[in-house]
Amino acid sequence: MYLLLSADGDIGLYKVDKIILDNFDNIISDFFKWKKKNCYDETLFVKFIKMTYGNDAISLKKIVGCYPDVEEEYKSIKWFNF
């Protein structure tokens, strides 16, 4: 399973466990409660996922484009921009 993450820059394609996609809205909500900073990007979210679900729960596969453009082949993948 894959997820696209970005922060108004490069868009990363991440391989994620199914539980991450199935519970994404709750995980994002928990992340926003957990973060201590006002300035953050997707790397802090990835750190949160690894801390909560283990290092193997998410991994960067490649950069697929730059915000707001994403290549056509990735448009069907869930994308979250921080």
Give this prediction's pTM. 0.91
3-state secondary structure of 3: strand
Give the DSSP letter string of 8-64.
SSEEEEEEE-HHHHHTHHHHHHHHHHH---SS--HHHHHHHHHHHH-GGGEEEEEEE
- Residues of the chain short of pLDDT 50, as ranges, are none
Q: What pLDDT was estimated at residue 67?
A: 81
Cβ neighbours of residue 11 closer than 8 Å, sequence gap 6 or more: 4, 5, 63, 64, 65, 66, 67, 70, 74, 79
Q: What pLDDT was estimated at residue 75?
A: 86
Q: What pLDDT was estimated at residue 69?
A: 81
Q: What pLDDT was estimated at residue 72?
A: 84
